[in-house]
Structure 1
Amino acid sequence: MALITVRTIKASDRQELLAVLARCGRHSGYFADADGELVPHAEASLFDERFSTAWVAEVSGRVVGHIAVMPLLLNEDVESIPLWTAATGQTTDQHTLIKRLFVDPAAQGTGIAQALMAQAMEQIDSTGQIGVLDTISIAQAAMRLYQRLGWREVARTKPYWTDEPFDLVLFVAPGH
């Protein structure tokens, strides 16, 4: 595998990132409808103004992944916030939420997600924050990644944005 480079997102990454997200949607259903097409709000969710920082991963000059962070205070799922704070014993403003981690299906299993997570956690740790994230219970590859990286599952709840029969799984960073 070629060298993985993680860098801050640029405006010029938009089309390439949307293409990667579309491939993820066709592969796993991430931000996709029943036909595998991106849902209407996918682009806005990827380029969310609440993100304090976002990064892309590149391999051989090609964008292959994405991750972003935002203050937990800005999370739209307000019912999950007290579950995270209860698990850590810290106030909401001491948490940073990891969002929109995805890797091109053709590049999965090569360490890209781990590199993106390491970049996000480096920033979170450098600010003295506690990292938190969520995923859906049917995203088994994501669940395995977080568990392998030492993240601790702290709660399961029903997602506010769907009636589908799966849970939203909340994690806190290793050591918290």
Structure 2
Amino acid sequence: MAGIQIRKYCDDDNEAVKEIFTLGMSEHVPSSFMHILKQPPTQMVLMCMFCALMTSSKSFLLPILAVTLLLAAFRQLVVYMFNKYIDTSLRKDLNNISETYLRQKDSCFWVAEIDGRVVGTVACLPNENVPDCLELKRMSVRRSHRGMGIAKALCRTVADFTRDKGYASVVLFTSVVQTDAQKLYEHMGYEKIREFVVPELVAKIMNFTLFEYRLDLQRDKKRD
């Protein structure tokens, strides 16, 4: 990993961090669209619409057009969901990273830098529900710099920070469509401990599942 530096966030990194986050989240729109198309209710709606229009109109053109428009609507639904999440994040913790992560107890935000350019991010802060855990958040690496071990290094940075602060575990949340992230976390020793559907209506319609992963640092330490 020659040339890669992982350091704490500074205010000059703000625009780069927001760009990496926005681009990284937007990448999941196509896979999320495919996910919704694979759901039985979606397939049933499309099939029923096609058959009903085919029977009533006795033409291929109308049902094909209707299904195409419905598919476009589904895709816009996915785009809406991700844009809403991105906007909410940019207005909340990413609006003032220093205040949220650097000035709070047992919290931090790091960037990965190559040749003066920020190419990756990760953060952690105390988990609201589990007192002995820190939560890994905002993990993202530019597409152009993946496969270089940056994400693994960022994961280790969070684990080391968590251990140094005296916490027993790291937890994180990722979605059903983030398969590469799931593989990374499992490779780094995280175990999936829970899965649940996001309670928002749009997410329920999509059956958009979140996975909770946990890294037990005590067991990880014994293994070392």
Q: What per-residue deviation string (whole Å, max 9, x for no partner) do you get for residues 66-124 of structure 1?
A: 11111112xxxxxxx4xxxxxxxxxx221111111011111111111111111111100
1:37-116 residue pairs with structure 2 within 5 A?
A: 39-43=86-90, 44-46=92-94, 47=96, 49-51=99-101, 52-73=107-128, 81=129, 92-116=130-154
Quote the sequence identity (%).
24
Which of 182, 193, 215 is residue 143 of structure 1 equivalent to?
A: 182
TM-score by length of 1: 0.78
SS in 2 for 1:93: coil
Output the amino acid matched with 1:170. Answer: E
Aligned-residue CA RMSD (Å): 2.4
Higher share of residues assigned strand:
1
Output the amino acid matched with 1:8. Answer: K
Which of 198, 212, 216 is residue 159 of structure 1 equivalent to?
A: 198
Output the amino acid matched with 1:128. Answer: G
Output the amino acid matched with 1:100. Answer: R
Give the Å deviation of 1:157: 1.1
Instruction: Determine the C-alpha separation between the residues in 2 that align with 1:147 and 1:56.
Output: 22
Q: Which has the larger radius of gyration?
A: 2
Gap regions ≥5 residues in structure 1: 74-80, 82-91
Instruction: Determine the C-alpha separation between the residues in 2 that align with 1:166 and 1:115.
Output: 29
Show the counterpart of 1:168. Answer: 210
Higher share of residues assigned helix:
2
Show the counterpart of 1:16. Answer: 16
Output the amino acid matched with 2:155. Answer: M
Instruction: Determine the C-alpha separation between the residues in 2 that align with 1:138 and 1:102.
Output: 15
Preserved contact between residue 55 and residue 66 of structure 1 (Cα < 8 Å): yes
Give the Å deviation of 1:62: 0.5
Give the Å deviation of 1:45: 4.0
Instruction: Determine the C-alpha separation between the residues in 2 that align with 1:158 and 1:3.
Output: 40
